[in-house]
Chains A and B, each alone.
Chain A
Amino acid sequence: QSALTQPRSVSGSPGQSVTISCTGTSSDVGAYNYVSWYQQYPGKAPKFMIYDVNKRPSGVPDRFSGSKSGNTASLTISGLQAEDEADYYCCSYAGRYTHWVFGGGTALTVL
């Protein structure tokens, strides 16, 4: 039950786009279209941002988008805003016995 691999940090200037990768294996990210993404501010609970690879829950801005290729999923945030500065986590279904695995998290800095 290894964690998915995410970069420890990414950064971008306001208005720019950034992409956060999430690399798993053929047993999790590569096997299922059940990848989700969460935004977390310090001391707060995670917030549901993307599900089923590329679907947005109601209320999440369309600046946030998800995609997947092979064993790697990605979260892209376009038109960066200061309020986007937070930690981001990916998550994937990993089968009947492992169930769910999260990434190690990526700290986004808006310069």
Chain B
Amino acid sequence: EVQLVESGGDVVQPGGSLRLSCAGSGFTFARYWMSWVRQAPGKGLEWVANIKEDGTDKYYVDSVKGRFTISRDNAKNSVYLQMNSLRVEDTAVYYCARNTFDMWGQGTMVTVSS
């Protein structure tokens, strides 16, 4: 079955860190750009970051630059999002998505609260 499965969401205090993981299966993971997209409660979708097939190029939305880092391990068919200096406004469901968002995981919830 072709799928993406996220994990790592949790409740964390402002200023804290969290690492999200996304495992792909059923397709040749190393051939695709991968992205993270988030959705705050009751809000719309927001692209967060993406990474090239070989991991050499990475891009971020302005609001997370310098705080979040996207990475991947093609041997493990996985993409990661290291989130540091978390803020209340980072609270959201985080989805990983393939390429131009043609496939999505089920999402993992990140709550930043004191």
- Which A residues are within 8 Å of any B CB, using their own CB? 1, 3, 34, 36, 38, 45-48, 51, 57, 89, 91, 93, 97, 99-105
Contact = CB atoms under 8 A, between A and B. Distances in A.
Contacts, number: 50
Nearest to B57: A96
Interface residues of B, number: 19
B65 to A, nearest CB: 11
A105 B44 contact: yes
B9 to A, nearest CB: 14
Contacts of B105: 45
Interface of B: 35, 37, 44-47, 50, 59, 61-62, 95, 100-107
A93 B101 CA distance: 11
B106 A38 contact: no
B39 to A, nearest CB: 9
Given A36-B101, A48-B101, A51-B100, A104 B50 contact: no
B110 to A, nearest CB: 16
B101 A103 contact: no
A45 B101 contact: no
19 contacts: A1-B61, A36-B100, A36-B101, A46-B95, A48-B102, A48-B103, A48-B104, A51-B100, A91-B45, A91-B47, A99-B50, A99-B59, A100-B50, A100-B101, A102-B37, A102-B46, A102-B47, A103-B44, A105-B45
A46 B102 contact: no
A91 B100 CA distance: 10
Contact of A57 (B44, B46, B95, B102): B102
B45 A46 contact: yes
Contacts of A36: 100-101
A55 to B, nearest CB: 11
